[in-house]
Structure 1
Amino acid sequence: MDSPVTFDRLYEGAKRFARLAMEAHAVQDQEVFLLHAGVSVERLAKAALARVHPTLLTEVNGKDDMLLHFAGAVSKPPTRLRTIGASTAISRLRRMDVLPQKKGSEADDLDGLIELRNGVAHLGTGDVEDYLGTFAATVDKLLLHMMQDRGSFWEFWLDTVQVVLDDQAGRLQKGVRLRMNQARHRFRTRFGDLPEGAVDSIEQTVSEHGLIVVEVGPEKALFQTLSRCPACKREAATLFLAVDRSSLLFGMELATESLLCGLCGFHLTGADEVKAVGLPTTVQFSVEDLTRIVTDASDSAERLATIKLSLPVVTPTDSHDSW
């Protein structure tokens, strides 16, 4: 009888739970991420041991049933299948120099991931450090040791993993690229089964062209306009802009402050993040581009009293007109 505990089954199980972990991380479900990431690491670690020899999956507890089965001495597996746990599997791989030794931050982070997985399974956990980097790095080491293709293991999530493991990218760039990949996953989940025309209709529903006044304060005015989303590539993102009151109405240079996509939820905050995805940090508009005002502040209307939205063309009477 074939053993139900084989390299192929352990490997495929690790791959399946890795996908579930990445999906949970994309929607910021930390507990589900920890649970699935821990299971994925455990199964992949056991797959690495099984590839050397299945007997490495047996516990040393005085019972020989699993040992005899894995060694091929008996064909029928025990009624109750019991293999080593994640910590023991990791410990054996450390002794084989496959995983980082028990001294150093990498080993501590891996132990922390497994401990939190166990905590989630039994008691639940609160806010904890993000272990995505530890998960990706551990899986990558095991795949390299077993000479397994990273692309076939991670599939859709390969780009995300490469971002996480990129030592050359700065923290801001990593964060933006990670959110971009997660937004693409959300878009695929929400709209992947819809026909192209249906997505186009939804895009038109959430999109509004033109320059819109959002708020006018004593120091600056806030606007929004439509932009193509850097993540899902749909023209459904709202670009939020600001200009100080000293700017000329007839040639405003607006600073890009943030972005939010109505379809995939991708968001940017600050000029540095905007620049990181290749969007301009400043854009040029004039009073002629204004389409409507959504601010409710009564004094805002007074500050915008010089703007004639009904006129298709506005001719400046003074080159120094300002807010």
Structure 2
Amino acid sequence: MPTVTGPRVVHTHGDRITVAAPATGVELLSYVYAPEAAWEAPKPYIHPLRTLAGDVVTGYRPSDHRWHKGLQLTASHLSGANLWGGNSYVHGEGYLELPERVGSMAHVAFDEVAARDDRAVIAERLTWHPHGGDLWADEERRIEVHDVEPESGSWALTWTSVITNRRREPLRFGSPTTAGRELAGYTGLFWRGPRAFRGGRIIGPDAEGPGLMGEQAPWLAFSGEHDGADGHATLVFAHAPGNDHLGARGAHPAHWFVRNEPFAAVAPSWAFYDELELPPGESLTRRYRIVVADGVWGRAEIAEYLAAHPW
């Protein structure tokens, strides 16, 4: 049986929450909720994200996209607003500087910040706003750190978001691809890897490589090699069964946005090819698991881990 070690939580009020592995003191993540630059569509995010060995596996404000911040929930095209940050894509004109489109996701309160025997919990309420400040949506977010296993060199993070439309008309979730740009379907949960992970290995259950862009699968993994430290790390991104990522029960299907050039990025997109429409008063629920592991994990190793750690 694996050795399970419970995490520890420190809350710096008004700024961030850090979660550390008690056996080593390694800070596994920092959840930052202090607001930042308006142009970058301020929103809470996780950075740094680390392996149990202490190696960082997220990037922060890279020179190519200052609004890329570790692991964060985004909405690149939302009923004409940009809750992603930076320039906005306009079909036929490319990316334009349109500050009047850039909105925000604002921290409201924490319902729970706690450490238990086997996990840490961050439960937060947020509000979503276009540039003008109107209330467009409420979000209930729950981030859990669990299954800290030194023997396998891995730990897991589960991210659950419930977004409720507070407008009197539908919220339309889109992406640059739904707006006309090919293979740019990013929106929803988004991970930006460190610069060293450029050219990293991408695998899914039945295929591998950047060709997984726009494809569907229950999980996708990205392995990269560190700068400044010997070795590699693997991140496994998995859908909860309730997400119905294939749309088999009538739900909106999800497709992977993934690339390893010119930078490392993964997003289980909510609206890769088609817009997702959320009627007034209704809620969208999405749940994901991210396994952070030291070393390069293969397809069989990932499948074995996921089978041993059911939802």
TM range (shorter): under 0.3
Point out the structure with the larger strand share. 2
TM-score by length of 1: 0.21
1 or 2, which has the higher helix percentage?
A: 1
Question: Which of 1 and 2 has greater Rg?
Answer: 1
Q: Which has the higher contact order (CA 8 A, sep 6+)?
A: 2
Scaled by the length of structure 2, the TM-score of the pair is 0.22
